[in-house]
């Protein structure tokens, strides 16, 4: 049935003035006002719209002021979904409230939770307790009194002090290199150096160890250079990949000496020689080795007498040296290139005076005879802990370094055991994805020179109880302090000075 209103006009008038009529009077027609919102759908019944294309196509004047509401993106729902997924697969990280104590007689204990309950810390990377050593503390305090707590800006603006250059000189001397450069962290050092060098070297190809730390992986990704991944600590696979590379093209071979989560130590000399055979530069991360290996604490390179084979070494001030920050050391021109071109260095506030002074004091301390004594005690207690795990029948991954991983498959299981240990006064953090692959979850222990055999004994007992409490089976051959087969009592009556006669050797 035709519209009675529009039907009163002739067709020529409707063709000429239809849009104006609809704009002025359309909202009075219930059929038209409803169908305009569903235009183009099958339910459009108005015979006027069906017969007049000028109206059915909705002229611009009629539609320009019609704004369909767009629902805003639900950001909080998205974030909630991300966190829920992490919690569901047990990879959500809960930061324990643990305040480490520094005073004599209480270190390596900490205050945990709201109740400030005393627990023993087994997972800190302050491996030798340098952060609480009086020499390091006094140096940091003196720097605060003389220079304040902050750097005042980037190195270019206000943060390049004599102490900064003195620390870089000490690091270069430690690693037997012409120059060094310090960063706000070793993550930044690795990321900034690798992304800059692999980006500016023409047609550079990167060869990266499969077990590399996230900081190196991030730097390689940021460079957008082509890369090849070789199997962890596998020089034969590295050679196979390098043999297929074009001659004369810049290459970087990137790997760690001590692996942070497995405790494995790479075949350093062999890997460096293979890299150089094919014209590559070596970038070697000694983060978990500096301060701990070698006569001066320079790392595995010094321990094995092959520092000269490392073209670029990266290290940290935040683990064995007990402070914060990272660094690289290498040739003068290479270091100057990174200094001049790496955004991660250029646009970052410099390290503050107490960190510079504390780090300088820590490097000198661990290069001294006292540092060598700390390393010996450290290696001795690590050996005692590994032996105690072995005697108890508890699992441990093979490790020739100071890092002792105890595998517990399943993110839920490893978290439960960590919680059980905490209840018994022992703090160790559960390690799961993405730090390690799913199915390779573990507890990562790092006993230090201030842990005693009695502390280790207490920890091993707590581990046995925690495994039983959470229904985790293991090959327990000690029951109530005696062998399950012959009932012979076992007592690890080995004192610290006796352990020092058998220091841990690097493979």
Predicted pLDDT of residue 202: 97
Instruction: Tell me: do 162 and 273 sit in the same domain.
Output: yes
In this structure, are residues 127 and 366 in contact, taking their beta carbons and an 8 Å threshold? Answer: no
The answer on 323 and 182 residing in a single domain is yes
Question: What's the mean per-residue pLDDT of the chain?
Answer: 89
Using the Cα atoms of residue 113, residue 119, residue 120 and residue 122 in order, give the sign of their dihedral: negative
Examine the pLDDT at 325 and tell me if it is beyond 70.
Answer: yes
At 176, list the tokens. 């037997």
**Closest to 214 (Cα-Cα) out of 250, 186, 242, 251:** 186
In a domain, 76, yes or no: no
Q: Which domain holds residue 208?
A: 134-367
Using alpha carbons only, what angle is made at residue 343 by residues 337 and 345, rounded to the nearest 5 degrees?
A: 75
Residue 161 has pLDDT above 90, yes or no: yes
Same domain, 138 and 111: no
Q: What is the mean pLDDT of residues 166-181?
A: 98
Rounded average pLDDT over 398-410: 96
Whether the per-residue pLDDT at 166 is higher than 50: the answer is yes
User: Which residue, of 367, 386, 407, is where some domain finishes?
Assistant: 367
pLDDT class of 507 with cuts at 50, 70, 90: very low
Same domain membership, residue 202 and residue 295: yes
Residue 9 domain flag: no
Q: Looking at the structure, do residues 356 and 377 belong to the same domain, yes or no?
A: no
Same domain, 363 and 234: yes
Distance, in Å, from the CA atom of 287 to the CA atom of 313, rounded to the nearest integer, reads 9
* 500: DSSP letter: T
Of 340, 367, 394, the residue at which a domain comes to its end is 367
479 and 330: one domain?
no
Report the CATH number that the domain containing residue 436 is assigned in CATH. Answer: 3.90.1150.10
- How many percent of the chain have pLDDT more than 90? 76
| DSSP letters for 200-243 | HSTT-EEEEETT--HHHHHHHHHHT--EEEE-TT-HHHHHHHHT
Domain tally, the chain: 2
Residues 266 and 361 grouped into a single domain: yes
Question: Is the pLDDT confidence value at 75 over 80?
Answer: yes
β 430-431/426-427 pair status: unpaired
Q: Are residues 361 and 377 in the same domain?
A: no
pLDDT tens per residue across span 362-385: 999 999 999 999 999 999 999 999
Residue 407 dihedral angles phi and psi, to the nearest 5°: -75, 135
How high is the pLDDT of residue 501? 47
Mean pLDDT in residue range 50-79: 74
Q: What is the CATH number of the domain that holds 157?
A: 3.40.640.10
pLDDT digits (tens, 9 = 90+) for 138-147: 999 999 999 9
Confidence band, pLDDT 50/70/90 cuts, at residue 30: low
5 has a pLDDT exceeding 70: no
pLDDT of residue 504: 46
With respect to residue 169, please indicate whether it lies within any of the assigned structural domains.
yes
For the residues 468-496, what does the mean pLDDT come to? 66
Flag whether 273 is in a domain.
Answer: yes
HEC string of 234-259?
Answer: CHHHHHHHHCCCCCCCCEEEEEECEC
Model pLDDT for residues 235-285, shown as the tens digit of each residue: 999 999 999 999 999 999 999 999 999 999 999 999 999 999 999 999 999
Q: How far, in whole angstroms, is CA 6 from its chain's centroid?
A: 73
Q: Are 377 and 360 within one domain?
A: no
Which of 177, 251, 319, 377 is an active site residue? Answer: 319
Q: What is the pLDDT of residue 10?
A: 72
My answer on whether 405 and 350 are in the same domain is: no
3-state secondary structure of 312: strand
The answer to whether position 270 is within a domain reads yes
CA distances from 183 to 170, 334, 339, 346 (A): 15, 15, 10, 10
pLDDT band at 34 (very low <50, low <70, confident <90, very high): low
Q: Is 319 a catalytic residue?
A: yes
Residue 8 has pLDDT above 60, yes or no: yes
Q: Tokens at residue 269, please?
A: 């000399």
Q: Tell me whether residue 146 is in a domain.
A: yes
Cis peptide before 434 (omega within 30 of 0): yes
Look up residue 123 and give its DSSP letter.
-
Q: How does DSSP assign 289-308, residue by residue?
A: TTTTSSSSS--HHHHTT-GG
User: Is the domain of 402 the same as that of 330?
Assistant: no
* Helices 162-174, 353-366: inter-axial angle, 10-degree rounding: 30
The mean pLDDT of 104-121, rounded to a whole number, is: 95
pLDDT at 91: 84
**pLDDT band, very low/low/confident/very high, at 338 (cuts 50, 70, 90):** very high
Query: Residue 87 pLDDT > 70, yes or no?
Result: yes
Among 367, 400, 423, the domain boundary falls at 367
Q: Does some domain include residue 8?
A: no
Looking at the domain assignment, is residue 47 inside a domain? no
Q: What is the mean pLDDT of residues 485-490?
A: 56
Determine the average pLDDT of the residues in 121-126: 97
């Amino acid at each position: 049935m035709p519209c009675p209103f529009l039907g009163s006009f002739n067709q020529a008038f409707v063709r000429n003035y239809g849009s104006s009529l609809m704009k002025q009077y359309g909202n009075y027609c219930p059929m038209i006002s409803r169908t305009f919102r569903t235009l183009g759908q099958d339910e459009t019944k108005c015979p006027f719209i069906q017969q007049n294309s000028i109206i059915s196509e909705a002229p611009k004047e009629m539609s320009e002021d019609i704004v369909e509401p767009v629902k805003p993106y639900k950001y909080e729902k998205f974030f909630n979904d991300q966190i829920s997924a992490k919690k569901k697969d047990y990879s959500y990280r809960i930061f324990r409230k643990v305040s480490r104590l520094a005073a004599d007689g209480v270190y390596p204990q900490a205050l945990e939770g709201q109740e400030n309950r005393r627990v023993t810390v087994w997972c800190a990377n302050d491996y030798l307790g340098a952060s609480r050593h009086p020499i390091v503390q006094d140096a940091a305090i003196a720097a605060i009194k003389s220079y304040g707590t902050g750097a005042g800006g980037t190195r270019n603006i206000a943060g390049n002090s004599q102490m900064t250059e003195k620390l870089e000189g000490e690091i270069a001397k430690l690693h037997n290199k012409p120059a060094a450069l310090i960063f706000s962290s070793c993550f930044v050092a690795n990321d900034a150096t690798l992304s800059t060098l692999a980006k500016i070297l023409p047609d550079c190809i990167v060869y990266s160890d499969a077990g590399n730390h996230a900081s190196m992986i991030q730097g390689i990704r940021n460079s957008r250079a082509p890369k090849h991944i070789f199997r962890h600590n596998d020089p034969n696979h590295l050679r196979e990949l390098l043999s297929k590379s074009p001659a004369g093209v810049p290459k970087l071979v990137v790997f760690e000496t001590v692996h942070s989560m497995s405790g494995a130590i790479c075949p350093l000399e062999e890997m460096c020689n293979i890299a150089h055979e094919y014209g590559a530069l070596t970038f070697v991360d000694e983060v978990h080795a500096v301060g701990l290996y070698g006569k001066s604490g320079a790392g595995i390179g010094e321990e094995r007498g092959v520092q000269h084979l490392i073209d670029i070494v990266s290290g940290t001030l935040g683990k064995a040296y007990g402070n914060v920050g990272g660094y690289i050391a290498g040739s003068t021109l290479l270091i100057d290139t990174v200094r001049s071109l790496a955004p991660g260095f250029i646009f970052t506030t410099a390290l503050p005076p107490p960190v510079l002074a504390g780090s300088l004091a820590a490097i000198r301390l661990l290069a001294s005879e006292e540092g060598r004594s700390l390393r010996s005690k450290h290696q001795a207690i690590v050996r005692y802990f590994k032996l105690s795990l072995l005697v108890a029948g508890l699992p441990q991954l093979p490790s020739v370094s100071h890092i002792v991983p105890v595998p517990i498959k399943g993110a839920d299981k490893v978290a439960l055991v960590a919680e059980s240990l905490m209840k018994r006064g022992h703090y160790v953090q559960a390690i799961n994805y993405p730090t390690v692959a799913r199915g390779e979850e573990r507890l990562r222990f790092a006993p230090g020179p201030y842990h005693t055999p009695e502390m280790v004994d207490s920890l091993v007992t707590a581990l046995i109880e925690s495994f039983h409490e959470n229904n985790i089976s293991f090959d327990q051959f000690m029951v109530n302090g005696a062998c399950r087969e012959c009932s012979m009592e076992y007592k690890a009556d080995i004192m610290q000075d006796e352990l020092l006669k058998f220091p841990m050797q690097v493979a």
